[in-house]
Amino acid sequence: MIRTLIIEDDFRVAEINSAYIKMVDGYEVIGVAPTAALGYQLVMDEKPDLVLLDLYLPDEHGLELFARLQQLPRGTKPDVFVITAARDSQNLKDAIQLGAAAYIVKPFNGQELIERLRKYKTAHARLNADGEISQAEVDATVALMRGGKVEDEIERTSSNPTTALIIKCLKSSSEPMNASEIASALGISRATAQRYLSQMADRHIVVLELQYGTAGRPINKYRLV
């Protein structure tokens, strides 16, 4: 079971969120805290897996509490869903930097929270599985924690300058391109282009297409998802 703590000062919102959590198999609500102080104490006492955290608490801003939770020893830090009416970019930026598993803006559709909880459950199971995991499994788990959208993965990966150039190159082309064509367009080696394209294919950012000529081996060409 994924042991979940709700830190929310509005008891009606807390009750609603608790009801949504109970709709998803594999979760249990271990407590509700109306203040940051009580929330922190419950984290210390109950060791929840997941915290649903409001930002506007009566005794402390939720992100300040989040930062304190991040100082806990490895293996004791809960994951955090920020659930708040705050729509400004600074709160969002700070929450991302602290490692929020989700940022949900009030008011929200209950189905959105349920879907996030389902995706988190899948990611949580992968993270707690025994044995080694492949790069593709790593990327899939990260994508699930970020909402499970390919667009999120493209945005995250495109922060690498070479990857960003390859994405731009493919966007500007009306046809799929092979590694040699991309290497020539960007002024990089074919081996480098092929390495990045293979990584992007593993992350489901590009799709590999085989094109057959009149003779010889097929040509690997790539297009954006």
Annotate the chain with three-state secondary structure: CEEEEEECCCHHHHHHHHHHHHCCCCEEEEEEECCHHHHHHHHHHHCCCEEEECCECCCCEHHHHHHHHCCCCCCCCCEEEEEECCCCHHHHHHHHHHCCCEEEECCCCHHHHHHHHHHHHHHHHHHCCCCCCCHHHHHHHHHHHCCCCHHHHHHHHCCCHHHHHHHHHHHHCCCCECHHHHHHHHCCCHHHHHHHHHHHHHCCCEEEEEECCCCCCCEEEEEEC
Residues 6 or more apart whose CB falls under 8 angstroms from that of 133 comprise 126, 141
Q: Tell me how far apart the alpha carbons of residues 140 and 204 are, in angstroms, rounded to a whole number.
A: 9
pLDDT at 63: 96
pLDDT range class, residue 150, cuts 50, 70, 90: very low
Report pLDDT digits (tens) over 129-140.
666 666 656 666
pLDDT at 46: 96
Residues 6 or more apart whose CB falls under 8 angstroms from that of 128 comprise none
Cis check for the bond before 161: say yes or no (omega within 30 of 0): no
- Structural domains of the chain ordered from first start: 2-137 (3.40.50.2300), 152-224 (1.10.10.10)
What's the average model confidence in pLDDT over 47-76?
Answer: 95
pLDDT at 51: 98
What's the average model confidence in pLDDT over 175-182?
Answer: 93
pLDDT range class, residue 111, cuts 50, 70, 90: confident
Q: Tell me how far apart the alpha carbons of residues 175 and 171 are, in angstroms, rounded to a whole number.
A: 9
The partner residues of 32 in beta bridges, in order of sequence, read: 6
Residue 147 has pLDDT above 80, yes or no: no
Residue 149 has pLDDT above 60, yes or no: no
pLDDT range class, residue 8, cuts 50, 70, 90: very high
Share of the chain above pLDDT 70, in %: 84
Residue 37 has pLDDT above 80, yes or no: yes
Strands 2-7 and 27-33, sheet pairing:
parallel
What are the Cα distances from residue 25, in Å, to 48, 76, 77, 124, 127? 17, 23, 23, 13, 18
Give the residue from 96, 72, 201, 73 showing the smallest Cα distance to 145: 96
